[in-house]
Every structure is written in C-alpha cells, then in structure tokens.
Amino acid sequence: MITLHWLYILAGLMFAAFAILSMTDPANPRRLGNAAFWGLMALSLLAGDLIGDFGNGLLVLGLAGLAGFVTTADGAVLTAVMLGPEEDLGRSPGLGSVAAGEMGSVPVPLEPSWAGSRSIVSIG
C-alpha cells in the first residue's frame, strides 16, 4: 500500500537530486548555498522522523539562515531565450503565452529576469 511515508521518500529523493544538480552547476556562483538548501530539505524529508523534533527545528533554522543571508540564486538553465530562434530545440514559441492566458489575471513572467526584459502578461 502506498502511504504518506513513500511520498516523503519520493519528495526527499527529488530534493536530493536538486542538491546534486545545484552543486554541479558551474555557471552559478552560489551553487554551494543552493546545494546546502536543497540538501537540508532532502534530509528533512528522508530522515525527519529519525532526527526528531529538535533536529527538524535546527533544519528549519538552517533553511531560514541560508535563504535569509541570500546564499541561494538561480542557476543557468538552457532555454529557448538563450538559444535564439534558430536553435529552439523544437519548442512552441507561443506556449508560454498560451499557458499564461489560461491562468486568469495572475501576472506571469514570460522571460527570466536575467534576460534583460520585464515582459509580464496580465489577463483580466
């Protein structure tokens, strides 16, 4: 039977993968902070019942400290914006705007902030 425990294991493994991928991102100058953040999240989900309430409280303080002291940052992600139209890996150019249009009146950024543009769509 699938219980909540298995969901915690799955989510913990996903966060552990985020930690490993963050650590191996050479384009991110704050990769160690990212890896520590996601690693603490993974530890909390994978071993939270073993470390107890006090240990989980320390993990939360560690997460807040990492986030509060700005030790995390976005990594470099290979996107169609970076590649240009001639190397677009087959993605639909209007997919972001179509998905944003179905969201209602929620402002959705269509390009990352590092791309130099502040394109935001607000439907409604």
Summarize pLDDT for 64-85 with one digit per residue, the tens: 998 888 766 676 655 545 555 5
The pLDDT of residue 100 is: 45
The pLDDT of residue 69 is: 82
Distance in angstroms (rounded) separating the CA atoms of residues 94 and 80: 11
Q: Point out the residues of the chain with pLDDT beneath 70.
A: 71-73, 75-124
Q: Which residues pair with 108 in a beta bridge?
A: 121
What 3-state DSSP class applies to 76?
A: coil
**DSSP codes of every residue in 79-105:** -HHHH-GGG-TT--TTHHHHHHHTT-S
Q: Where are the domains of the chain?
A: 4-68, 89-121
Mean pLDDT score of the chain, rounded to an integer? 74
The pLDDT of residue 60 is: 93
Looking at residue 87, its amino acid is E
The pLDDT of residue 109 is: 53
